Structure 1
Amino acid sequence: MAEHLDSGKRAEELACQWLESKGYEFLEKNFRYKHAEIDLIMKHQGLLIFVEVKFRSGTGFGFAEEFVDYGKKKLIIKAADAYIHQIDWHQDIRFDIVGVYKDRHGNINFRHFEDAFY
């Protein structure tokens, strides 16, 4: 597997663990619908939360939220609609972005953007 894919999958695992430590309940990882994929699906305080995880080794090229463009958001929303229908969800939802950052010393930090788009 390519190194960037390995780091992306590892970032998803770390983000999931970090969110769980904050009281989020893990439901599903890498939910696919046609050409769309949702990295993490979590529940928290009665909300169904669709999480896009972005890994960055530093911020020289920008922050995580800057790399979720209109097309990506549209795909995530389409997949979320399919998931909502599949599980027959009738409560509120939210779309979040979690940035996983590795500094030059190898330390991992997180930035959580709640209600990042819709």
Structure 2
Amino acid sequence: MATHNDLGRRGEALAKAHLEASGYEIMDENWTFGKAEVDLIAYKDRNIIFVEVKARSGTGFGQPEDFVDARKQRLLVEAADEYIYLMNHQGEVRFDIISVLFDRNNNYKLKHIEDAFWPSAI
């Protein structure tokens, strides 16, 4: 099985390919602001979508998406605010999670959760 970092990179590559195949334009990858890193920033239908990718090799501690806790959500919102300001974006914004769960044979299940959380909810 791949190391932790390799698993994360593989998950991000699969998430990016999924988004592109679904008609999203990838604007940025691994964009950082302060302590936050946004894995993927995509654009579709006049919306900027901030995507957190979580890849895991098992569910013993929960589903991959369960690891996007309130602290991580706050960091993503702070980074998104800065990105929106820098891009002078006037359209809608969305926060998605893409979870990638690998099995022992390196097969995977990808789950794209649109509108995973709202900034006012954290």
- Normalising to structure 1: TM-score of the pair? 0.93
Cross-structure match for 1:99: 99
Shift of 1:45: 1.9
Over 3 Å off, 4+ runs: none
Backbone CA RMSD of aligned residues: 1.4
Q: State the Cα deviation string for residues 26-57 of structure 1 (Å, max 9, x = none).
A: 11001100111100000122210000000011
Aligned equivalent of 2:89: 89
Whether 1:67 aligns to 2:95 is no
1:8 aligns with 2:18: no
For 1:109, give the aligned amino acid: K
Q: CA deviation at 1:79?
A: 0.3
5+ long unaligned stretches in structure 2: none
TM superposition score normalised by structure 2: 0.90
Q: Which residue of 1 aligns with 2:20?
A: 20
Give the distance between the partners of 2:60 and 2:46, measured in 1 at CA: 36
Where do residues 51-66 of structure 1 align in structure 2 (5 Å cutoff)? 51-66=51-66
Which amino acid counterpart does residue 25 of structure 1 have in structure 2? Answer: E
TM-superposed deviation, 1:69: 0.6
Report the secondary structure of 1:48's partner residue. Answer: strand
Residues in 2 aligned to 1:64 and 1:75: alpha-carbon distance in whole angstroms? 18
Once residues 57 and 8 of structure 2 are traced to their aligned partners in structure 1, the CA distance between those partners, rounded to angstroms, is 11
Q: Matches of 1:5 and 1:106 in 2, distance apart?
A: 15
**Identity of counterpart residues, as a percentage?**
48
Given residue 61 of structure 1, which amino acid in structure 2 is its aligned partner?
F
Count of matched residue positions in the alignment of Structure 1 and Structure 2: 117
